[in-house]
Amino acid sequence: MMKCSVVVGLFSLIVSATASAAVEIPVQARFFAGMTGVKLDELNDSLEAQSMKKIEGVTQLGLEITYPVMKYLDVGARYAKKLADSEENPADPNTDYSAKIDQDAFLLIARVPIVREDFYRVDAFAGVGGTNTKVTMKTLAQNGDYTKSVGESWYASPYAAAGVSLALGYKRFYFVFEGAIEHNKVDDLKRSGSVSTSVNSLDLSGSYFTVGIMFDGIPGTVGR
């Protein structure tokens, strides 16, 4: 799966491609965590039939790096690890049955600053990218995986998000609150092991809210 370092590497390539000579730019870095509410009909039907809890939310942890290309436009990249799990219902200490979603999501992102004051910032953003996804299932009746991945070279399913963020702080350090809607549907899952044939897709789309920290105006020098 892709690691956070890919975002940093891709950011360097974007900057290098747009810079004709060595220049210092004010880089913005964000670290965030949050939750997306989801409705996984096919997967949840399968889980409940095996006395497992439904999955109703996906946690995300991530890093974003952007830089300004003009006065009212910042561009960059974002990486997020998205995780969710299900346990037995009711819990049984004698077994270790579970279902886990593990997804790597990558986004090329553009942000439009709306307000830039010393103590607070407001912006709107949109981005497109892709995901690699794996669902691991271990129950009394099933033991195997659902996957949609092309490995570390690129991403297998389309992904998009758009929303707004509010940052509160001073100078280069801010607390950030972000709300957005994301399209994140994974089709044509590949099955391995003994897992249900009724699960063919995962719709992880929904609205999310994240909180995090932002370092704004970090000096960064790039060139050819």
Asked if 183 contacts 174 with a C-beta cutoff of 8 angstroms, the reply is no
Nearest CA to 83 out of 105, 65, 64, 51 is that of 105
Q: Does residue 223 form part of some domain?
A: no
Rounded to whole angstroms, the Cα distance separating 118 from 193 reads: 56
Instruction: Find the CATH number of the domain harbouring 102.
Output: 2.40.160.20
Q: Does residue 81 form part of some domain?
A: yes
The model scores a pTM over 0.95: no
Give the pLDDT confidence score for residue 166 in this predicted structure: 97
Instruction: Say which residue the tokens 């600053």 belong to.
Output: 113
Give the pLDDT confidence score for residue 213 in this predicted structure: 97
Structure tokens at 211: 């909180």
Q: Does residue 38 form part of some domain?
A: yes
Structure tokens at 155: 């991403």
Q: Does residue 167 form part of some domain?
A: yes
Number of domains in the chain: 1
Q: Does residue 22 form part of some domain?
A: no
Q: Does residue 224 form part of some domain?
A: no
What is the SS3 assignment for 60-117?
A: EEEEEEEEEEECCEEEEEEEEEEEEEEEECCCCCCCCCEEEEEEEEEEEEEEEEEEEC
- Could you count the other beta carbons within 10 Å of the beta carbon of residue 98? 15
- Using DSSP, state whether 190 is helix, strand or coil: strand
Structure tokens at 212: 């995090």
Give the pLDDT confidence score for residue 23 in this predicted structure: 65
Range of the domain at 68: 5-16+30-217
From first to last of the 224 residues of the chain, give the pLDDT tens digit.
Answer: 444 454 445 545 444 544 444 566 788 999 999 999 999 999 999 999 988 999 999 999 999 999 999 888 999 999 999 999 999 988 888 888 999 999 999 999 999 999 999 899 999 999 999 999 999 999 888 999 999 998 766 899 999 999 999 999 998 899 999 999 999 999 999 999 999 888 999 999 999 999 999 998 877 655 54
Q: Does residue 23 form part of some domain?
A: no
Q: Does residue 73 form part of some domain?
A: yes
Give the pLDDT confidence score for residue 2 in this predicted structure: 43
